[in-house]
Amino acid sequence: MKLKSFKKLIKKIFNFVLDAIIPKRCIGCNIFDTWLCDSCHTTLPLLTEQKCGICKKVITPLGETCPNCQKNTAVNGIFVISSYNNELLKHLIHNFKYKFIEELSEPLGLLIAQGLTNSHLLSPDLIVPIPLHNRRLRWRGFNQADLLANSIGLTIPINSTCLVRQKYTTSQVKVKSKKKRLSNLKGAFVIQHPEKIKDKSILLVDDIVTTGSTINECAKILKNAGAKEVSAIVLTRE
């Protein structure tokens, strides 16, 4: 048996045992057999107003980068699905990322799909999840952005290998100054197989955006490698 298949088998056995000891309960209302029931899912709000993903001040119809920020920014826009003020959404993302509940990618991906349905965003040529460094990937066991991208349910191709995180960095949340955030990300990302992104309109996917520095750095690297346009979609913004 290959190592990857063996790991999947062990994970299934672990999850089966875990479900038997600690049954699934809705994070919103505690009913059994689901991590998020349909009733609680309907309480998750969809944002009706978007702002520039960089300055977070100027209202733009689809989260486009405002004219002033465009001067020093690579990303064309950041579309935010839901409000960070919603406590249920906070709990869902926390359980997804730090309690390693992979199944939450499905309701969270559905939320993104609902937000896209209500928007007029143009379909990209390619979807690219924000990558994790291998060290963090081993710790978590999965890339939450990759799972979200695959749970949205779009027919647009997803490429999880063209953008690689080669440098392990401190979480951007913990880096306070803008100068240090930029320094922290310098050289963090590289492109593999640039021919797959050349002249493509790309949509980056991630769970949460804080400062926008990571998304902007990814956009810069992708555009330098030949991408035509790079925007992003995230569940929420801190």
pLDDT in tens, 151-182: 998 899 999 999 999 988 766 555 555 655 65
What's the confidence (pLDDT) of residue 154?
A: 87
Whether the predicted pLDDT of 1 surpasses 60: no
Whether the predicted pLDDT of 196 surpasses 70: yes
Pairwise pLDDT comparison (24 vs 176), residue with the higher score: 24
What's the confidence (pLDDT) of residue 166?
A: 93
Mean pLDDT score across all residues of the chain: 89
CA-CA distance, 211 to 178, in Å (whole number)? 9
- Where along the chain do its domains lie? 1-34, 49-237
CA-CA distance, 35 to 20, in Å (whole number)? 15
**What is the per-residue pLDDT across 107-164, written as a single tens digit (0 to 9) for each?**
999 999 999 988 888 899 999 999 999 999 998 999 999 999 999 988 999 999 999 9
Whether the predicted pLDDT of 186 surpasses 90: no
Whether the predicted pLDDT of 183 surpasses 90: no
Q: Does domain 49-237 have CATH number 2.130.10?
A: no
Grouping H, G, I as helix, E, B as strand and the rest as coil, residue 205 is strand
What's the confidence (pLDDT) of residue 187?
A: 85
What's the confidence (pLDDT) of residue 59?
A: 97
What's the confidence (pLDDT) of residue 4?
A: 56
CA-CA distance, 40 to 42, in Å (whole number)? 5
What's the confidence (pLDDT) of residue 155?
A: 92
Pairwise pLDDT comparison (224 vs 20), residue with the higher score: 224
Whether the predicted pLDDT of 205 surpasses 60: yes
**What is the per-residue pLDDT across 90-105, written as a single tens digit (0 to 9) for each?**
999 999 999 999 999 9
What's the confidence (pLDDT) of residue 78?
A: 97
Pairwise pLDDT comparison (61 vs 20), residue with the higher score: 61
